[in-house]
Amino acid sequence: MRRILKTTAAVAGATFLASASVASADGIVAKLVNSPLNSAGLVKGGYSALNVYLQKPGAEGIEFYNPEVPGFGIPAGGHIEVEMVGGFARDSSIAMDARAVHMVSGTPQHGLSDKRLGYQSVQGENPNIFVISAISPDGLPAEKLLPRATVQQLDPIPNIGLKTFHIGLSTIAFSNGGEHGTVAVRVVDRDGKILASGQAEVDFWDAPRPQIHPNNFLHQGRNHNWQRVAPGETVGQAAGSVPLTFLLFEKPTGTAQQIRDSRTGIAGAGVLSAAQLRGMAFDVPASMSRYDSGLIVHDSNGDGKLDPRADQIIGGVITSAPGGDSSFDVRSLVEGNTPLLSQPTGVYSERAGARIGGAIMQVQFTTGAAKGKYRPTFALLVDPDDPARGDGTAYTYTVIAQ
Protein backbone atom coordinates (compact mmCIF):
# COMPACT_ATOMS: atom_id res chain seq x y z
CA MET A 1 0.00 0.00 0.00
CA ARG A 2 1.27 3.47 -0.85
CA ARG A 3 0.60 6.24 1.64
CA ILE A 4 1.71 9.81 0.87
CA LEU A 5 2.38 12.01 3.88
CA LYS A 6 2.76 15.78 3.66
CA THR A 7 4.37 17.48 6.63
CA THR A 8 2.79 20.70 7.80
CA ALA A 9 5.12 22.27 10.34
CA ALA A 10 8.90 22.71 10.46
CA VAL A 11 9.42 20.34 7.55
CA ALA A 12 7.41 20.36 4.32
CA GLY A 13 6.99 18.08 1.36
CA ALA A 14 8.04 14.69 2.76
CA THR A 15 6.78 11.74 0.74
CA PHE A 16 7.60 8.11 1.36
CA LEU A 17 6.16 4.62 1.33
CA ALA A 18 4.76 3.60 4.68
CA SER A 19 2.77 0.82 6.27
CA ALA A 20 -0.97 1.15 6.67
CA SER A 21 -0.63 2.04 10.36
CA VAL A 22 0.78 5.52 9.68
CA ALA A 23 -1.77 8.30 10.25
CA SER A 24 -0.05 11.71 10.13
CA ALA A 25 3.28 13.40 10.82
CA ASP A 26 4.89 16.82 10.91
CA GLY A 27 8.06 18.72 11.79
CA ILE A 28 11.12 16.68 12.68
CA VAL A 29 9.08 13.49 13.21
CA ALA A 30 8.61 11.54 9.97
CA LYS A 31 6.50 8.62 11.20
CA LEU A 32 5.90 6.02 13.90
CA VAL A 33 6.36 2.31 13.18
CA ASN A 34 6.29 -0.96 15.08
CA SER A 35 9.56 -1.74 16.84
CA PRO A 36 11.75 -3.82 14.50
CA LEU A 37 12.50 -6.20 17.38
CA ASN A 38 8.92 -6.82 18.52
CA SER A 39 6.22 -8.98 16.94
CA ALA A 40 3.29 -6.74 17.94
CA GLY A 41 4.07 -3.29 19.39
CA LEU A 42 1.11 -1.34 17.97
CA VAL A 43 -1.88 -3.53 18.87
CA LYS A 44 -4.84 -1.90 20.64
CA GLY A 45 -4.69 -2.75 24.32
CA GLY A 46 -1.24 -4.26 23.91
CA TYR A 47 2.21 -3.23 25.05
CA SER A 48 3.83 -0.27 23.26
CA ALA A 49 6.99 -1.03 21.29
CA LEU A 50 7.71 1.41 18.50
CA ASN A 51 10.27 3.43 16.60
CA VAL A 52 10.05 7.19 16.11
CA TYR A 53 11.62 8.06 12.74
CA LEU A 54 13.04 11.58 12.58
CA GLN A 55 13.78 13.91 9.65
CA LYS A 56 15.21 17.35 8.86
CA PRO A 57 14.37 20.12 6.39
CA GLY A 58 16.01 19.16 3.12
CA ALA A 59 16.25 15.51 4.22
CA GLU A 60 12.68 14.38 4.73
CA GLY A 61 11.43 10.85 5.15
CA ILE A 62 13.74 8.23 3.70
CA GLU A 63 16.34 10.81 2.66
CA PHE A 64 17.21 11.48 6.31
CA TYR A 65 18.53 7.92 6.59
CA ASN A 66 21.20 8.51 3.96
CA PRO A 67 24.40 8.06 6.03
CA GLU A 68 25.81 11.16 4.33
CA VAL A 69 23.15 13.19 6.19
CA PRO A 70 24.04 13.88 9.86
CA GLY A 71 21.37 13.22 12.44
CA PHE A 72 20.54 15.22 15.56
CA GLY A 73 22.67 15.80 18.64
CA ILE A 74 21.91 16.81 22.23
CA PRO A 75 22.59 20.55 22.74
CA ALA A 76 25.13 21.62 25.36
CA GLY A 77 23.21 22.12 28.58
CA GLY A 78 20.00 21.21 26.78
CA HIS A 79 18.01 18.07 26.23
CA ILE A 80 15.58 16.24 23.96
CA GLU A 81 12.03 15.51 25.08
CA VAL A 82 10.02 12.56 23.77
CA GLU A 83 6.40 12.84 24.88
CA MET A 84 3.81 10.10 24.55
CA VAL A 85 1.14 12.72 23.97
CA GLY A 86 -2.05 10.73 23.58
CA GLY A 87 -3.35 7.18 23.25
CA PHE A 88 -0.71 5.65 25.54
CA ALA A 89 -1.21 4.43 29.12
CA ARG A 90 1.81 4.74 31.42
CA ASP A 91 2.98 1.89 33.65
CA SER A 92 4.29 3.82 36.65
CA SER A 93 6.30 0.82 37.87
CA ILE A 94 8.65 1.13 34.85
CA ALA A 95 11.32 3.83 35.02
CA MET A 96 11.58 6.36 32.18
CA ASP A 97 15.26 5.56 31.75
CA ALA A 98 17.48 4.54 28.84
CA ARG A 99 16.17 0.98 29.01
CA ALA A 100 12.71 2.25 28.02
CA VAL A 101 13.89 4.73 25.35
CA HIS A 102 17.01 4.25 23.26
CA MET A 103 18.74 6.45 20.69
CA VAL A 104 19.54 4.92 17.29
CA SER A 105 21.66 6.30 14.44
CA GLY A 106 19.98 4.56 11.52
CA THR A 107 17.72 1.87 10.21
CA PRO A 108 18.42 -1.04 10.35
CA GLN A 109 19.22 -0.43 13.99
CA HIS A 110 22.56 1.09 14.90
CA GLY A 111 22.03 1.50 18.62
CA LEU A 112 23.75 4.37 20.43
CA SER A 113 24.84 3.06 23.82
CA ASP A 114 23.89 5.34 26.72
CA LYS A 115 26.75 3.98 28.83
CA ARG A 116 29.43 4.27 26.13
CA LEU A 117 28.37 7.68 24.85
CA GLY A 118 27.22 9.21 28.12
CA TYR A 119 23.54 10.12 28.02
CA GLN A 120 20.61 9.45 30.31
CA SER A 121 16.82 9.57 30.36
CA VAL A 122 14.55 10.63 33.21
CA GLN A 123 10.87 11.43 33.61
CA GLY A 124 9.86 14.95 32.59
CA GLU A 125 7.30 17.38 33.92
CA ASN A 126 4.54 14.85 33.33
CA PRO A 127 4.71 11.05 33.60
CA ASN A 128 4.58 10.57 29.82
CA ILE A 129 7.70 12.57 28.94
CA PHE A 130 11.18 11.12 28.48
CA VAL A 131 13.90 13.76 28.99
CA ILE A 132 17.16 12.68 27.33
CA SER A 133 20.28 14.63 28.25
CA ALA A 134 24.04 14.29 27.99
CA ILE A 135 26.06 13.55 31.11
CA SER A 136 28.62 16.13 29.97
CA PRO A 137 27.65 19.83 30.14
CA ASP A 138 29.08 20.09 26.62
CA GLY A 139 26.22 17.99 25.28
CA LEU A 140 26.57 15.33 22.60
CA PRO A 141 26.88 16.81 19.11
CA ALA A 142 25.88 14.61 16.19
CA GLU A 143 29.49 13.91 15.22
CA LYS A 144 30.02 12.20 18.59
CA LEU A 145 26.93 10.01 18.29
CA LEU A 146 28.47 7.14 16.35
CA PRO A 147 27.88 3.37 16.21
CA ARG A 148 30.41 1.14 17.88
CA ALA A 149 33.92 1.25 16.41
CA THR A 150 33.72 -2.06 14.54
CA VAL A 151 30.66 -0.89 12.61
CA GLN A 152 32.30 2.45 11.81
CA GLN A 153 35.23 0.57 10.29
CA LEU A 154 33.02 -1.76 8.24
CA ASP A 155 30.57 0.77 6.82
CA PRO A 156 31.86 2.69 3.78
CA ILE A 157 29.89 5.70 5.09
CA PRO A 158 29.06 5.41 8.82
CA ASN A 159 25.82 6.80 10.18
CA ILE A 160 26.28 9.93 12.29
CA GLY A 161 23.92 11.33 14.91
CA LEU A 162 20.47 10.52 16.26
CA LYS A 163 17.91 9.49 13.64
CA THR A 164 15.47 7.23 15.50
CA PHE A 165 14.10 6.75 19.00
CA HIS A 166 13.39 3.14 19.98
CA ILE A 167 10.65 3.13 22.63
CA GLY A 168 10.07 -0.11 24.53
CA LEU A 169 13.40 -1.86 23.95
CA SER A 170 14.64 -3.48 27.18
CA THR A 171 11.65 -2.38 29.27
CA ILE A 172 8.17 -1.27 28.17
CA ALA A 173 6.71 1.69 30.06
CA PHE A 174 3.49 2.13 28.05
CA SER A 175 0.53 0.28 26.60
CA ASN A 176 -1.68 1.25 23.67
CA GLY A 177 -4.81 2.66 25.25
CA GLY A 178 -6.76 4.26 22.41
CA GLU A 179 -7.51 4.16 18.71
CA HIS A 180 -4.41 6.20 17.90
CA GLY A 181 -1.11 7.10 19.52
CA THR A 182 0.72 10.41 19.21
CA VAL A 183 4.39 11.01 19.98
CA ALA A 184 6.03 14.45 20.06
CA VAL A 185 9.76 15.23 19.99
CA ARG A 186 11.36 18.53 21.04
CA VAL A 187 15.02 19.55 20.92
CA VAL A 188 15.54 22.12 23.69
CA ASP A 189 18.57 24.34 24.39
CA ARG A 190 20.04 25.27 27.79
CA ASP A 191 17.71 28.29 28.04
CA GLY A 192 14.59 26.27 27.40
CA LYS A 193 14.17 27.43 23.80
CA ILE A 194 12.77 24.81 21.45
CA LEU A 195 15.23 24.45 18.56
CA ALA A 196 13.25 21.86 16.59
CA SER A 197 10.04 19.92 17.12
CA GLY A 198 7.48 17.68 15.51
CA GLN A 199 5.01 14.92 16.18
CA ALA A 200 3.34 11.98 14.49
CA GLU A 201 0.23 9.91 15.02
CA VAL A 202 -0.15 6.20 14.34
CA ASP A 203 -3.32 4.11 14.09
CA PHE A 204 -3.27 1.17 16.47
CA TRP A 205 -4.11 -2.24 15.01
CA ASP A 206 -7.29 -4.12 15.88
CA ALA A 207 -5.28 -7.35 15.94
CA PRO A 208 -1.68 -8.53 15.52
CA ARG A 209 -0.35 -9.09 12.01
CA PRO A 210 2.72 -10.68 10.40
CA GLN A 211 5.82 -8.51 10.64
CA ILE A 212 8.68 -7.63 8.30
CA HIS A 213 11.48 -5.39 9.59
CA PRO A 214 14.96 -4.32 8.49
CA ASN A 215 17.69 -6.09 10.40
CA ASN A 216 21.48 -6.10 10.75
CA PHE A 217 22.12 -9.01 13.12
CA LEU A 218 24.32 -10.51 10.39
CA HIS A 219 27.53 -9.24 8.77
CA GLN A 220 28.92 -7.83 12.05
CA GLY A 221 26.21 -5.18 12.29
CA ARG A 222 26.97 -3.46 8.99
CA ASN A 223 24.47 -0.99 7.57
CA HIS A 224 22.48 -2.93 4.96
CA ASN A 225 20.74 0.22 3.74
CA TRP A 226 21.93 2.83 1.23
CA GLN A 227 24.50 0.50 -0.32
CA ARG A 228 26.26 1.61 -3.49
CA VAL A 229 27.10 -0.58 -6.49
CA ALA A 230 27.67 -0.09 -10.21
CA PRO A 231 24.69 -0.28 -12.59
CA GLY A 232 23.84 -3.93 -13.21
CA GLU A 233 25.66 -5.16 -10.10
CA THR A 234 23.98 -7.19 -7.38
CA VAL A 235 23.80 -6.08 -3.76
CA GLY A 236 24.50 -9.23 -1.75
CA GLN A 237 26.85 -10.68 -4.37
CA ALA A 238 29.10 -7.77 -5.45
CA ALA A 239 32.37 -7.35 -3.58
CA GLY A 240 31.94 -5.25 -0.44
CA SER A 241 28.15 -5.51 -0.44
CA VAL A 242 25.84 -7.45 1.88
CA PRO A 243 22.32 -8.79 1.26
CA LEU A 244 19.22 -6.80 2.15
CA THR A 245 18.25 -8.48 5.41
CA PHE A 246 14.93 -8.73 7.23
CA LEU A 247 13.51 -10.01 10.51
CA LEU A 248 10.18 -11.81 10.03
CA PHE A 249 7.61 -12.56 12.74
CA GLU A 250 4.49 -14.69 12.52
CA LYS A 251 1.22 -13.16 13.66
CA PRO A 252 1.12 -13.80 17.43
CA THR A 253 -1.98 -14.89 19.34
CA GLY A 254 -3.10 -15.02 22.96
CA THR A 255 -3.24 -12.51 25.79
CA ALA A 256 -1.52 -9.13 25.65
CA GLN A 257 1.39 -10.55 27.64
CA GLN A 258 1.64 -13.65 25.43
CA ILE A 259 1.59 -11.45 22.34
CA ARG A 260 4.28 -9.20 23.82
CA ASP A 261 6.51 -12.20 24.51
CA SER A 262 5.92 -13.95 21.18
CA ARG A 263 9.11 -14.58 19.21
CA THR A 264 8.00 -17.02 16.51
CA GLY A 265 9.51 -16.25 13.14
CA ILE A 266 8.34 -16.99 9.60
CA ALA A 267 10.86 -19.63 8.56
CA GLY A 268 10.97 -20.89 4.98
CA ALA A 269 10.04 -17.62 3.27
CA GLY A 270 11.72 -15.99 0.31
CA VAL A 271 11.30 -13.70 -2.69
CA LEU A 272 10.50 -14.79 -6.24
CA SER A 273 11.37 -12.04 -8.72
CA ALA A 274 9.05 -10.88 -11.48
CA ALA A 275 11.39 -12.61 -13.95
CA GLN A 276 11.20 -15.88 -12.02
CA LEU A 277 7.41 -15.67 -11.93
CA ARG A 278 7.30 -15.12 -15.69
CA GLY A 279 9.57 -18.13 -16.12
CA MET A 280 7.02 -20.17 -14.16
CA ALA A 281 4.21 -18.80 -16.37
CA PHE A 282 2.56 -17.57 -13.16
CA ASP A 283 0.09 -14.72 -13.38
CA VAL A 284 0.06 -12.55 -10.27
CA PRO A 285 -3.52 -12.33 -8.91
CA ALA A 286 -5.31 -9.04 -9.53
CA SER A 287 -5.52 -8.46 -5.77
CA MET A 288 -1.71 -8.36 -5.69
CA SER A 289 -1.02 -6.58 -8.97
CA ARG A 290 0.70 -3.74 -7.08
CA TYR A 291 3.61 -6.12 -6.46
CA ASP A 292 5.45 -5.19 -9.65
CA SER A 293 8.85 -6.64 -8.69
CA GLY A 294 8.13 -10.00 -7.11
CA LEU A 295 6.26 -11.98 -4.48
CA ILE A 296 7.18 -13.01 -0.95
CA VAL A 297 6.26 -16.69 -0.70
CA HIS A 298 6.22 -19.06 2.28
CA ASP A 299 7.29 -22.66 1.63
CA SER A 300 4.14 -23.95 3.31
CA ASN A 301 4.48 -27.52 2.00
CA GLY A 302 8.06 -27.77 3.29
CA ASP A 303 9.68 -29.08 0.11
CA GLY A 304 12.45 -26.47 0.24
CA LYS A 305 11.27 -24.75 -2.94
CA LEU A 306 9.07 -21.75 -3.63
CA ASP A 307 6.07 -22.32 -5.87
CA PRO A 308 3.35 -19.63 -5.81
CA ARG A 309 0.79 -22.20 -6.96
CA ALA A 310 1.51 -24.72 -4.18
CA ASP A 311 2.85 -22.45 -1.43
CA GLN A 312 1.33 -19.47 0.36
CA ILE A 313 1.89 -15.94 -0.97
CA ILE A 314 2.42 -13.75 2.09
CA GLY A 315 3.46 -10.45 0.50
CA GLY A 316 5.36 -8.82 -2.30
CA VAL A 317 7.79 -6.20 -3.55
CA ILE A 318 7.13 -2.79 -5.13
CA THR A 319 10.11 -0.90 -6.57
CA SER A 320 10.70 2.72 -7.47
CA ALA A 321 13.53 2.94 -10.03
CA PRO A 322 15.32 5.90 -11.63
CA GLY A 323 13.68 6.96 -14.87
CA GLY A 324 11.29 4.05 -14.67
CA ASP A 325 14.11 1.56 -15.36
CA SER A 326 12.65 -1.95 -15.29
CA SER A 327 15.85 -3.93 -15.81
CA PHE A 328 16.48 -4.45 -12.07
CA ASP A 329 15.85 -7.75 -10.28
CA VAL A 330 15.08 -8.70 -6.68
CA ARG A 331 15.05 -12.26 -5.35
CA SER A 332 16.12 -14.44 -2.43
CA LEU A 333 19.86 -14.56 -1.82
CA VAL A 334 21.40 -17.26 -3.99
CA GLU A 335 24.08 -19.44 -2.37
CA GLY A 336 25.62 -22.15 -4.54
CA ASN A 337 22.86 -21.83 -7.14
CA THR A 338 20.23 -22.41 -4.44
CA PRO A 339 17.89 -19.71 -3.09
CA LEU A 340 18.31 -19.26 0.67
CA LEU A 341 14.96 -19.20 2.46
CA SER A 342 14.40 -17.51 5.82
CA GLN A 343 15.73 -19.36 8.86
CA PRO A 344 15.14 -18.94 12.61
CA THR A 345 17.35 -16.20 14.03
CA GLY A 346 18.93 -18.71 16.40
CA VAL A 347 20.54 -20.47 13.42
CA TYR A 348 22.74 -17.39 12.99
CA SER A 349 22.98 -16.17 16.59
CA GLU A 350 21.94 -18.24 19.59
CA ARG A 351 21.85 -15.10 21.75
CA ALA A 352 19.70 -13.08 19.34
CA GLY A 353 17.47 -16.07 18.76
CA ALA A 354 16.78 -16.44 22.49
CA ARG A 355 16.38 -12.72 23.18
CA ILE A 356 14.59 -11.49 20.05
CA GLY A 357 13.52 -14.54 18.05
CA GLY A 358 11.96 -14.19 14.62
CA ALA A 359 13.47 -15.48 11.39
CA ILE A 360 16.10 -13.93 9.12
CA MET A 361 15.39 -13.48 5.40
CA GLN A 362 18.18 -12.38 3.04
CA VAL A 363 17.53 -10.85 -0.37
CA GLN A 364 19.77 -9.82 -3.26
CA PHE A 365 18.99 -6.82 -5.46
CA THR A 366 20.41 -6.28 -8.94
CA THR A 367 20.33 -2.67 -10.09
CA GLY A 368 19.23 -1.80 -13.60
CA ALA A 369 21.16 -0.01 -16.32
CA ALA A 370 20.23 3.46 -15.06
CA LYS A 371 22.19 5.28 -12.38
CA GLY A 372 20.31 6.59 -9.36
CA LYS A 373 18.25 5.41 -6.40
CA TYR A 374 16.39 2.12 -6.46
CA ARG A 375 13.83 1.71 -3.69
CA PRO A 376 12.31 -1.75 -3.26
CA THR A 377 9.50 -1.85 -0.70
CA PHE A 378 8.90 -5.26 0.89
CA ALA A 379 5.38 -5.67 2.29
CA LEU A 380 3.55 -8.47 4.07
CA LEU A 381 -0.18 -8.96 3.69
CA VAL A 382 -2.30 -8.27 6.77
CA ASP A 383 -3.94 -11.66 6.17
CA PRO A 384 -2.49 -13.97 3.49
CA ASP A 385 -5.80 -15.88 3.50
CA ASP A 386 -7.62 -12.68 2.51
CA PRO A 387 -5.34 -10.63 0.20
CA ALA A 388 -8.12 -8.08 -0.33
CA ARG A 389 -7.36 -6.70 3.15
CA GLY A 390 -4.15 -5.24 1.74
CA ASP A 391 -0.70 -4.73 3.20
CA GLY A 392 0.28 -4.57 6.84
CA THR A 393 3.89 -3.90 7.73
CA ALA A 394 6.42 -2.86 5.10
CA TYR A 395 9.95 -1.55 4.75
CA THR A 396 11.77 0.28 1.96
CA TYR A 397 15.48 -0.15 1.32
CA THR A 398 17.52 2.27 -0.80
CA VAL A 399 20.17 0.97 -3.23
CA ILE A 400 22.26 3.42 -5.25
CA ALA A 401 23.66 2.60 -8.68
CA GLN A 402 26.59 4.88 -9.44
CB atoms within 10 A of CB 51: 25
Question: Cα separation of 333 and 353, whole Å?
Answer: 21
Its pTM stands at: 0.92
Which region, left, alpha or beta, applies to residue 42 given φ > 0 means left and ψ of -120 to 50 means alpha?
alpha
Predicted pLDDT of residue 23: 64
Chain centroid to CA 351: 21
For 282-388, list the strands marked E by DSSP.
294-298, 312-320, 329-332, 334-335, 338-339, 343-344, 359-366, 372-381
Predicted pLDDT of residue 226: 97
Question: Cα separation of 269 and 259, whole Å?
Answer: 22
CATH topology of domain 22-203: Immunoglobulin-like (2.60.40)
Q: Is the omega angle on the peptide bond into residue 214 within 30 degrees of 0, that is, cis?
A: no
- Residue spans of the domains in the chain: they are 22-203, 211-401
One pLDDT digit (tens) per residue for the chain, 402 residues = 222 233 333 333 333 334 444 567 889 999 999 999 999 999 999 999 999 999 999 999 999 999 999 999 999 999 999 999 999 999 999 999 999 999 999 888 789 999 999 999 999 999 999 999 999 999 999 999 998 777 778 888 889 999 999 999 999 999 999 899 999 999 999 999 999 999 999 999 999 999 999 999 999 888 899 999 999 999 999 999 999 999 999 999 999 999 999 999 999 999 999 999 999 999 999 999 999 999 999 999 999 999 999 999 999 999 999 999 999 999 999 998 899 999 999 999 999 999 999 999 999 999 999 999 999 999 999 999 999 999 999 999 999 999
Asked if residue 189 lies in contact with residue 80, where contact means CB atoms within 8 angstroms, the answer is: no
For the chain, the distance separating the N- and C-terminal CA atoms, rounded to the nearest angstrom, is 29
Burial of residue 142 (number of CB atoms within 10 Å: 0-12, 13-18, 19+): middle
Strand, helix or coil for residue 139: coil
Q: CA-based angle 52:55:59, to the nearest 5?
A: 155
Strand, helix or coil for residue 259: helix
Which region, left, alpha or beta, applies to residue 263 given φ > 0 means left and ψ of -120 to 50 means alpha?
alpha
Which region, left, alpha or beta, applies to residue 279 given φ > 0 means left and ψ of -120 to 50 means alpha?
alpha
Question: Cα separation of 282 and 309, whole Å?
Answer: 8
Question: Cα separation of 342 and 337, whole Å?
Answer: 16
